[in-house]
Amino acid sequence: MLRSFFFRLVGAFALVILALAVGVTLLASRATAGQFRLYTDRNGRLWAERLAPTLADYYARTRSWQGVEVLFQSSTSMMGGGMMGQGMGGQGAPSGMAGNWDMWAMMGQRLIVADAAGRIVGDSAGGLAGKALSDGERVTGVPIILNGQRIGTVVVASAVAGTQTPTGEFLSAVNRSILLAALFAGILALTLGGVLFFQLTAPIRRLTAAAHAIAAGDLNQRVAVHSRDELGELAGAFNAMAANLAASEGQRRQLVADVAHELRTPLSVLQANLEAMQDGILPTDAEQLASLHEETLLLGRLVADLRLLSLAEAGQLKLELVQADLGDLVRRAAERLRPAATAKGVDLVTQITPDSPRVKLDIDRFTQMLGNLVDNALRYTPGGGRIVLAVGWGGEPGKAHRPTVTVTDTGSGIPPDDLPHVFDRFYRGDKSRARASGGSGLGLAIVRQLVEAHHGTVRAESPVFHAADGSGFGTRIVVMF
């Protein structure tokens, strides 16, 4: 297809060159012939005006046009304007005509002399004697005047068409030169155009080869960007697309591995306990059934979290948006979560500004998001620590303030290398961390999806410092609506 595209470009360019060459050749040839004809016609009229007095003198001496053809055959020059000796049966002839007739014949001109009635009495080229001048030739011809009366007409016109004359040879040479120049220019332009088209299609060929490789499963394909034009921008967009595809494929594989890992543990526990009960190793009592029930609940929560994530990422999560006071929502959530914090020895407090912002949101999803944040903070905050739920206004300096909710703990914080990934699915900073301490790795991922579903933003801060007055913190999650 690319080869076809290349040949289509070259073919179209060749047609344009051919059309231009033909047009230029025709116009140049026509203009040259027209201008040369105009020159010869004007020059011929000047010669006719100079010949008219000589012909009038001839008529005055002979009193007729009989024998005027002898002037066209005389071998002397007429430029002297004098008279020859006796000739033509004793009649004098004008001197010096033949050399010029020969010169005119060589230049493709013919001399025509007609009498007062317009009948041709002399033709240097022969063949027109006895015929009549056309009205146009009588108008354009130079009148021969004798004693105030028109006794004839002299016309210097182009030679008969088809005769080989210097004029015709000159025009033919000009036409050949123009045609050769157009042909040379066309070949040169077509060659340069072919090189240019090859260079233009080279990036497209590379893009096509890389696209075929990606279609075959090689997502590491990239193309070199050599320019900043449209093709360079296309190559950059292609590389970005390939990088995103590679990242998405990596995430897909990691998700499959993570989901398999998360499901394997509870399923293994269920399978092992059930087999032990079947073999009589474990008793089938309320305690064992409660343990199995806890594992099924864990599986149910994991599946529910995965479904919530998939809906949110696909933009299909349905939200029941209502106008609500953030301060009231955070207070109620804190009261519900405080028993779990107290059981671990962690102080859960709220800090709400008097002008608590009102936001349009889904109350149930907001409560779920806040519960995930507090649950994550409790997991990494040791006994005696503190978790602060704050509501206020935040944002970048110089910009309008936005409704903000922060969850700050005094835990161990997040290492800098792990900080950019805390909102990724199944991500745990400590790879050896057990589910009991590290969770499923979906809590913060769900938080991000819920916040983005409300068109908000979420970020994590972890400077890890602890002031003597207890004002320091390990991790802070900032949510802006």
pLDDT band at 351 (very low <50, low <70, confident <90, very high): very high
State the pLDDT at residue 93.
Answer: 41
For position 343, what pLDDT does the model report? Answer: 92
Q: Tokens standing for 235?
A: 């190559």
Q: Taking the domain 230-313, which CATH number applies? A: 1.10.287.130
pLDDT band at 466 (very low <50, low <70, confident <90, very high): low
Q: Is the pLDDT of residue 309 over 90?
A: no
CB 127, CB 160: distance < 8 Å: yes
Handedness of CA 392, 395, 397, 400 (dihedral sign): negative
pLDDT of the residue at 318: 86
Q: Kindly report, as residue ranges, where domains of CATH 1.10.287.130 are found in the chain.
A: 230-313
CA pseudo-torsion sign 293, 299, 302, 308: negative
Alpha carbon distance 221, 203 (integer Å): 14
User: Which tens digits make up the pLDDT trace of 192-250?
Assistant: 887 877 777 788 888 888 888 888 888 888 888 877 877 788 888 888 888 888 887 87
Report d(CA 196, CA 403) in Å as an integer.
58
Q: Which of 33-37, 70-74, 127-131, 297-301 has the lowest average pLDDT?
A: 70-74
pLDDT score of 26: 82
Angle of helix 230-278 relative to helix 166-215, nearest 10 degrees, comes to 20
Average predicted confidence (pLDDT) for the chain: 79
- According to DSSP, residue 458 is labeled E
Lowest mean pLDDT among 220-224, 325-329, 437-441, 451-455: 437-441
The DSSP letter of residue 225 is -
Domain with CATH 3.30.565.10 in the chain: 321-480
Looking at 90-94, 299-303, 444-448, which range is the least confident one?
90-94
Alpha-carbon distance of 221 to 243, in angstroms, equals: 9
How does residue 177 score in pLDDT terms, banded at 50, 70 and 90?
confident
**Model confidence over 255-286: pLDDT tens digits?**
677 777 677 777 887 888 888 888 888 888 88
Which residue, chain included where needed, has tokens 């299609």? 201
Residue 437, pLDDT above cutoff 60: no
* Residue 192 C-alpha from the chain's centroid: 22
Does the pTM of the predicted model rise above 0.85? no
Cα(391)–Cα(359) distance, integer angstroms: 12
> Given this model, what pLDDT does residue 161 score?
41
- What is the SS3 assignment for 30? helix
Which has more pLDDT, 11 or 408?
Answer: 408
Q: Name the pLDDT band for 321 (thresholds 50, 70, 90).
A: very high
pLDDT of 76 > 80? The answer is no
Average pLDDT rounded to a whole number, residues 54-80: 71
Higher-confidence position of 335 and 11? 335
- 321-480: which CATH architecture? 2-Layer Sandwich (3.30)
DSSP letter at 419 equals G
Which candidate, 414, 420, 390, places its Cα nearest to that of 475?
Answer: 414
Among candidate residues 354, 351, 435, 425, the one with its CA nearest the CA of residue 387: 351
Quick one: pLDDT at residue 429? 60
**What pLDDT score does 407 carry?**
95
Distance CA(429)–CA(409), nearest Å, equals 17
Give the best-scoring range by mean pLDDT among 159-168, 346-355, 417-426.
346-355
pLDDT digits (tens, 9 = 90+) for 386-435: 999 999 998 776 666 899 999 999 988 888 888 888 888 777 665 544 44
What pLDDT score was predicted for residue 88?
36
Q: What are the pLDDT digits (tens) for 145-154?
A: 988 899 999 8
Confidence at residue 388, expressed as pLDDT on a 0 to 100 scale:
94
pLDDT at 432: 46
Mean pLDDT, range 355-361, rounded to an integer: 92
Contacts of 63 (CB under 8 A, 6+ apart): none
First to last CA, the chain: 51
What is the H or E stretch that residue 465 is in?
none
Does 86 or 64 have the greater pLDDT score?
64
Give the pLDDT score at 186: 81
